[in-house]
A and B are shown apart, each in its own frame.
Chain A
Amino acid sequence: MSTESAAGGDPAPAVELSGITKRFPGVVANSDVDITVRAGTVHALVGENGAGKSTLMKILYGMQRPDDGTIAVAGEPVSFASPADAIRAGIGMVHQHFMLADNLTVLENVVLGSEPRAGVRLDFAAARARVREISDAYGLGVEPDRLVDDLGVGERQRVEILKVLYRGARTLILDEPTAVLVPQEVDELFGNLRDLKAEGLTILFISHKLDEVLAVADDITVMRRGTTVASVSPREVTARKLAELMVGSALPVPELRESTVTDRPVLAASGLTVTSADGRKVLDDVSFTIHAGEVLGIAGVEGNGQAELVEALMGIRVPSAGSVHLAGADITRLSTKRRREAGMGYIPEDRHRQGVLLEASLWENRVLGHQTRKPNARGPLLDRRGAKADTQRIVEQYDVRTPGIDVHAAALSGGNQQKLIVGREMSGNPVVLIAAHPTRGVDVGAQAAIWEHIRRARAERLAVLLISADLDELIGMSDTLAVILRGRLVADHDPSTVTPEQLGSAMTGAGRES
């Protein structure tokens, strides 16, 4: 429908980026990027993590200035010094991570920063009317007076969209909007996007989930290594073809070969319960056993207790009930240091928060978490030479792209930091690896390499707890699959037969019967 109307009037494109180049330290630059977004369409921008999508969108939203190239909005050339300029030009951005104040109402969040005034007083009545009006016009179903704290993820996202519309945006940038949603919420979002489009708005949709892109987009632009490699119509391509455009070659597939599962239990949790500060059970009576050579995958929507489970296993968080056993010994009361010394490796979910010291050298980061063990320490002293030599080994074996081991971790791209962490946690013959999103934010090559390292360690009888948002990775890499929902393990699945859709339903609690 939109194609016809656009072709009929042939209006100026909503956004036209041409020849955008951005030399950005440390990560992939944007190089000669050309994108034309027709008005009144959903335009998808796809590419691997690190392909330069986010940089490009930051340029379009005025958060960064291009070194070269031009931006035109509705045919007019523009130059943005800040997001405020972009907003004035009618461009709004919905960030992947919501920027909402939990303890304010929807209305307060929406008007925050552009409060309607009547004299010196805030005119909430007028604002409320306008929020209702926008919500009804685009079918967002947002209640202005509810507390954001009480809203679900999907509703919060609609508040973010409303916030942008309230500021008069005609072009919306959505940065990986489905990353935090379960499949059912994704369908709702797509319904909203179609409504917005029907009202003449333009949507730039950033994603790397191809099925979603094919379902919702009118045009697709593919980015790879910082530049645009193809502009296609969803009718002309398949998901497979798109994927190949994105990676430039055939996709690696996460899969385990023959089973290496033994009957020797390595890590066992029983009745593990974690209570939050306000008395809520964020982890509720979780029990499982991982055997030597087994990968246990945990599927779940983020925020359903995965972080608490991992921290309770590592001794970072004290469980209120239950026990953890490592190779038969009770480690429930053991400190994190003792657990690590006993052979527990840990790849944290948020590498900047828990995985690396950004302002320390790579070799110091190698020592981190292994500061009491060879080759990093001799008694109470640090073995600098040993640590440096071993860092060099990790850099080579794990293909960490760096000019040396004395640079700060902050200088490396996220993927290379992750490779260093994986290499570190695989060092010293761990017996258990707790891996939370081990391939998040790394490129395809590194992803395949990390999978291979985990596979090899599994063949050598490593027990792995794998938590991931990537369902293909979970299904492909796990020997056993469990689903976590609101802090409980609710279902077990056989990874050889389960489909991502079935997992997705189980993750929301909808597919309990299946």
Chain B
Amino acid sequence: MGRFSVRSVLLGLVAPVGALVFAALVCALILALTGNPPLDTVDAMATAAQRPRTLVNSLNSATQYYLAAVAVAIGFKMKLFNIGVDGQYRLAAMLSAALAGAAFMDGVPPFLRVAMTIVAAMLVGAAWSGLAALLKVTRGVSEVISTIMLNAIATYLVSYLLNPARLAENVPGSNNIGTRPITEGGQVPGIDYPGSTSKIFGLVFLAVLVGVVYWFVLSRTRFGFELKATGLSESAAVASGVSVQKMVVWSMLLSGAVAGLVGMPQLLGSSHSYSLDFPPGLGFIGIAVALLGRNHPVGMAVAALLWGFLDNAANALDVSGVPREIVLIMQGVIVLSVVVAYELVRRYRVRAEQRDVGRALGRTKTLEEVSA
């Protein structure tokens, strides 16, 4: 038994590490071809990694990426592709920012105020993904299509609402517009890190909590079992008494609720308002991180940290004269090669396990029986 688990850990690492090495080689090749010495680039990234500011920013990015990845992974676990995390978190962040910043919230006790903001964001995210779930179970609309379209609708909805005539106001001293800033009682204080002016998001702990809950629900509860079973074989799940429709609705709602959290660390920890420059595209990064981390709670954490570091190292590359786009190339190659690598490893694992079973059951003995 131990043999199986040691090997499965090793096999689990082979694919992502292999993909990273492959991506690094591809990037080195591209750098060399474009006349940028690869070693200097590594050097620049290593220097960046030692700067406290890069570390803090990487961790902060990773916090958001991780939440987005968990949101995506909940769907992935049952072969449901929630491409709409992006729209869900932007709409959720915008509406909850408007709520948290509203004047009547100033009198609410800080803890309750933060909790209300977070719950509101989860509800908005769930409602937006719930639309896709509803379309899927009642009309059979593919959630891929509907969530992509809902992303676009969310974009327009946000720009409609983010208007001084509605939920926004002009940011003093700039052309930016945003929701009314959240006053101090509604913010989540950051954590100081020596040597860095930026602070670690206080809601980094929320991400950890979400990861733990995700792990617990998936591996320890009946609901998680039914979710996984549906993902592995819908027909077998149906025959086993799992209502696939119910699972679709629940997993989409949960995915959307977690998606609603994606914007929270930034909103409550740093920008305190949803304005035009609120970070977009986190939902799509979440897809990449979930793929790289294999939907595994720890795997996705590592992947999110890596992604966060690469993003923040890109700034350092710019300074040292290496085109920062090399990071995008690297991220792209990682995602593509990791998908291929996982499939190869999966096939190998199935074969290896069959071989083990064959060996453990003593094929040779059967053949002796034949000749006897």
Q: Do A and B come from one complex?
A: yes
Q: Which of A25, A335, A348, A384 contacts B354 (CB 8 A)?
A: A25
Q: Are B236 and A336 in contact (CB under 8 A)?
A: no
Q: Which residue of B lies closest to A314 (CB)?
A: B239
Q: Are B354 and A411 in contact (CB under 8 A)?
A: yes
With A314-B239, A408-B353 already in contact, the answer to whether A359 and B225 are too (CB < 8 A) is no
Does B250 have its Cβ within 8 Å of any Cβ on chain A? no
Convert B338-362 into 0s and 1s, putting 1 for each residue whose CB lies closer than 8 angstroms to a CB of A: 0000000000001101111110110
Chain A CB within 10 Å, residue with most, of B228, B233, B239: B239
Q: Are B350 and A408 in contact (CB under 8 A)?
A: yes
Does B221 have its Cβ within 8 Å of any Cβ on chain A? yes
Q: How far is the CB of B71 from chain A (nearest CB, A)?
A: 22
Q: Which of A229, A338, A348 contacts B239 (CB 8 A)?
A: A348
Contacts of B226 in A (CB 8 A): 371
- Rounded to whole angstroms, the CA-CA distance of A359 and B243 in the bound complex is 20
Q: Which residue of A lies closest to B362 (CB)?
A: A401
- Rounded to whole angstroms, the CA-CA distance of A348 and B237 in the bound complex is 12
Q: Are B357 and A411 in contact (CB under 8 A)?
A: yes
Q: Are A31 and B367 in contact (CB under 8 A)?
A: yes
Q: Which of B4, B239, B367 contacts A225 (CB 8 A)?
A: B367
Q: Which residue of A lies closest to B349 (CB)?
A: A408
Q: Are B370 and A224 in contact (CB under 8 A)?
A: yes
Contacts of A360 in B (CB 8 A): 228-229, 232
Q: Are A25 and B221 in contact (CB under 8 A)?
A: no
With A25-B354, A29-B363 already in contact, the answer to whether A382 and B236 are too (CB < 8 A) is no
Does A403 have its Cβ within 8 Å of any Cβ on chain B? yes
Does A279 have its Cβ within 8 Å of any Cβ on chain B? no
- Rounded to whole angstroms, the CA-CA distance of A310 and B226 in the bound complex is 22
Q: Interface size (B, Cβ < 8 Å)?
A: 38
Q: Which of A224, A364, A380, A403 contacts B221 (CB 8 A)?
A: A380
Does B176 have its Cβ within 8 Å of any Cβ on chain A? no
Does B1 have its Cβ within 8 Å of any Cβ on chain A? yes
Q: How far is the CB of A47 from chain B (nearest CB, A)?
A: 12
- Rounded to whole angstroms, the CA-CA distance of A316 and B244 in the bound complex is 11
Chain B CB within 10 Å, residue with most, of A26, A316, A354, A356: A26
Q: How far is the CB of B356 from chain A (nearest CB, A)?
A: 7
Contacts of B351 in A (CB 8 A): 25
Does B223 have its Cβ within 8 Å of any Cβ on chain A? yes
- The A contact surface, by secondary structure, is loop
Does A206 have its Cβ within 8 Å of any Cβ on chain B? no
Q: Are A407 and B353 in contact (CB under 8 A)?
A: yes
Q: Are A403 and B229 in contact (CB under 8 A)?
A: no
Q: How far is the CB of A330 from chain B (nearest CB, A)?
A: 18
Does A410 have its Cβ within 8 Å of any Cβ on chain B? yes
Does B369 have its Cβ within 8 Å of any Cβ on chain A? yes
Q: Which of B219, B229, B239, B350 contacts A316 (CB 8 A)?
A: B239
Contacts of A29 in B (CB 8 A): 363, 367
With A356-B236, A360-B232, A368-B229 already in contact, the answer to whether A340 and B357 are too (CB < 8 A) is no
Q: Are A229 and B238 in contact (CB under 8 A)?
A: no
Contacts of A384 in B (CB 8 A): 220
Does A404 have its Cβ within 8 Å of any Cβ on chain B? yes
Q: Which residue of B lies closest to A26 (CB)?
A: B354
Convert B53-71 into 0s and 1s, putting 1 for each residue whose CB lies closer than 8 angstroms to a CB of A: 0000000000000000000
With A25-B358, A364-B225, A402-B357 already in contact, the answer to whether A225 and B366 are too (CB < 8 A) is yes
Does B242 have its Cβ within 8 Å of any Cβ on chain A? yes
Contacts of A437 in B (CB 8 A): none
With A29-B363, A227-B367, A404-B4 already in contact, the answer to whether A340 and B232 are too (CB < 8 A) is no
Q: Are B222 and A382 in contact (CB under 8 A)?
A: yes
Q: Are A372 and B370 in contact (CB under 8 A)?
A: no
Contacts of B356 in A (CB 8 A): 403, 407, 411
Closest 3 CB pairs of A and B: A337-B241, A403-B360, A25-B354
| Sampled A-B contacts (6; CB under 8 Å) | A26-B358, A337-B242, A338-B241, A353-B235, A354-B238, A358-B232
- Chain A positions within 8 Å of B, measured between CB atoms, are 23, 25-29, 31, 224-227, 229, 314, 316, 335-341, 346, 348, 353-360, 364, 367-372, 377, 380-382, 384, 401-404, 406-408, 410-412
